[in-house]
Structure 1
Amino acid sequence: MKTLMMLSLPLLAIALPAAAQEVNVYSHRQPELVQPLFDAFTQETGIEVNVAYVDKGMVERLVSEGSRSPADLVMTVDIARLAQIVDAGVTQPVESEVLAANIPAEFRDPGNQWFGLTSRARIVYASKERVADGEVTTYEDLADPKWQGRICTRPGTHDYNLGLMAGVIAHDGEEAAKEWATALRANLARKPEGNDRGQVKSIWAGECDISLGNTYYMGEMLADPEQKEWADSVRIVYPVFKDGGTHVNVSGVAMTKAAPHHDDALKLMEYLSSDAAQKIYAEINHEFPVKPGVPSSDLVESWGPFTPDSVNLMDLARLRPDALRIMEEVNFDG
């Protein structure tokens, strides 16, 4: 009997199919920005990456699914969403020497719950024809009445603008931040709407002279035959806070508490921090790599140098509720 059981084990092992090598990702990021990375990862490792693009309700979805969630990783577009997911208790800490070596401490959670993958600056797109060099140097300048009817932006309650607003609060305090938001609203050429590229189109069309936007959208517009004319009508200006640097935010990744494919998910996280993936981010997505030693693309370098603001990313995340409250109090999007 014992002999039969021992003999049957190898046969049983042969009969069972191998466990599928795959990673399931819930992503806020646009498909075209992350698919090249997943394709390269699969080609290198043979591990398939399945992606569900979740624009809204990611936290609620993960909480509802609980331990039954099929998601291994979540990828988000800014620090506030990363913090929200961690605060909801649906992630787990990840101990990895590779991640610790590749990602500087300022771009990862002290408790290893999330890891930044790229950074981007929130800058001003300025009309080459109607805005002189040096007219905008600080974010506070945007409140100057000389810009009345000349500024375009996406909604103030969008995460990108809330991140910037959190930076204003961190530097200038709540009262000054509310005054800034009120003055900025008064300077708008039209109701906040659309995305960052849409604002540049409005500059090209003569509807406004400056707009707020993320740096990488310039690369996307230049690569699009329809949008290249918009991009050629503006230049990038890196404003600073009057006592700081240029506002930056991050895209990042976290592992879910459920993570049914933990080991493969960790491999993907480590790959995303590697030289190969960081170069893809730089060349295809026009973002700033977080791994030291990986250069930005030649195109991004051509936009000139800037000094990133030193406010801690987690401080920005904690100030997001205050930023949202102020934007709603001044009826910024109304």
Structure 2
Amino acid sequence: MFLRLTTALTALAVAAPAIAEEINIYSYREPALLQPLTDAFTAETGINVNVAFLNKGMIERLQAEGKRSPADLIFTVDISRLAAAVNAGLTQPVTSDVLTTNVPDIYHDPDGHWWGLTTRARIVYASKDRVADGEVTTYEDLADPKWKGRICTRSGTHAYTIGLVSAMIEHHGAEETKTWLEGVKSNLARKPQGNDRAQVKAIWSGECDISLGNTYYMGKMLSDSEQQEWANSVNVLFPTFEDAGTHVNVSGVAMTKSAPNPENALKMMEFLSSPMAQEIYAEANFEYPIAPGSEAVDLVKSWGSFDADSVNLMTVAGHRATALKLVEEVDFDG
């Protein structure tokens, strides 16, 4: 069967009861990234998949639709967005032996409200010419004065930065994290700006020597003829927290509280958690699959290996409000 993509599902909210053999998805990720998976799922089960791409306002839309929402599943990236949906009361817990087997404990909500599919590491991009091997080993080291005027990063209030700061709070507490933030700020080469790729471009152009970024951006840059030169100017380094692992974030799926097709939605969640499906999903965005026995593609593996931080990501998300407060207190973006 063929995938039926749609860019808007609003009309379904007020239409007749849902067709039995279908699933409706609200996705933060572009449908093209999902299509190989949804095609495979439809071919295997006969269940049609409708995808609405929502790059912003997903929570607000679900709240406005309430019980009439056509959405069965939400796909999003970053633990802060997954936790926000849970905290807004928009999801329901899911219990499944298949999911429990395929998704490690640190990558799903302890109460079953969301389940991870792939991960990305928050790493350091380092100039091949100006940063020696072994110079960057920990996140804590980024506050060392040796990096003064040498660091670029995106906004301190961005979800990716808040996630790292939240993890720092979990390991060191708020007071020590505030001191660390002040140290990192004092080492910045410029005011925080741009996305992760913009930081690598700044390294390439000589504005700074290291930057924070997600691993998958290396794959995206290498796939872009204009940006390949930026990517080839840096090494990918996997710092850790002192006495812990490398900070990772997650893409995940959750079943909505009012899912009109819950049985089909659960089938989709279990399908997505399989090693085969995770490898397809991870390859599409240069990420790491998390199911036991699954492997990243060769390009991603070529960047190096790492041990992920073992703290459950929902625990990390619990520090988000404090992290944002600390970023504002030190005027990180100022």
TM-score past 0.5 threshold = yes
Runs (4 or more) in structure 1 with deviation over 4 Å come to none
The 1-side partners of 2:77 and 2:314 are apart by: 15
- 2:80, 2:317 within 8 Å by CA — same for their partners in 1? yes
Alignment of structure 1 residues 280-291 onto 2, 5 Å: 280-291=280-291
SS at match of 2:162: helix
The 1-side partners of 2:211 and 2:39 are apart by: 34
Q: What is the identity, as a one-letter code, of the residue corresponding to 2:295?
A: P
The 2-side partners of 1:76 and 1:256 are apart by: 13
1:188 aligns with 2:188: yes
1:179 aligns with 2:179: yes
SS at match of 2:319: helix
Runs of 5+ unmatched residues, structure 2: 1-17
Distance 1:130 1:269, change over 3 A: same
Alignment of structure 1 residues 133-148 onto 2, 5 Å: 133-148=133-148
- 1:281, 1:288 within 8 Å by CA — same for their partners in 2? no
2:235 match: 235
Tell me the matched-pair count.
317
Distance 1:161 1:33, change over 3 A: farther
**C-alpha deviation, 1:147, in angstroms:** 1.6
**C-alpha deviation, 1:52, in angstroms:** 2.5
Runs of 5+ unmatched residues, structure 1: 1-17
SS at match of 1:306: coil
SS at match of 2:318: helix
The 1-side partners of 2:45 and 2:202 are apart by: 44
The 2-side partners of 1:247 and 1:133 are apart by: 20
2:294 match: 294
Distance 1:127 1:30, change over 3 A: farther
- If the length of structure 2 is used for normalisation, what is the TM-score? 0.89
Q: What is the identity, as a one-letter code, of the residue corresponding to 2:280?
A: I
Distance 1:194 1:46, change over 3 A: farther
Q: What is the identity, as a one-letter code, of the residue corresponding to 2:111?
A: G
**C-alpha deviation, 1:32, in angstroms:** 4.5
**C-alpha deviation, 1:161, in angstroms:** 0.8
- 2:118, 2:290 within 8 Å by CA — same for their partners in 1? yes
The 2-side partners of 1:126 and 1:52 are apart by: 37
Q: What is the identity, as a one-letter code, of the residue corresponding to 1:260?
A: P
- Alignment deviations for residues 52-87 of structure 1 (CA, whole Å, 9 cap, x no partner): 232333222212211011111111211222111111
1:3 match: none
Distance 1:19 1:76, change over 3 A: closer
The 1-side partners of 2:251 and 2:302 are apart by: 22
**C-alpha deviation, 1:43, in angstroms:** 3.9
The 2-side partners of 1:203 and 1:39 are apart by: 40
1:62 match: 62
- Determine what percentage of the aligned residue pairs are the same residue: 65
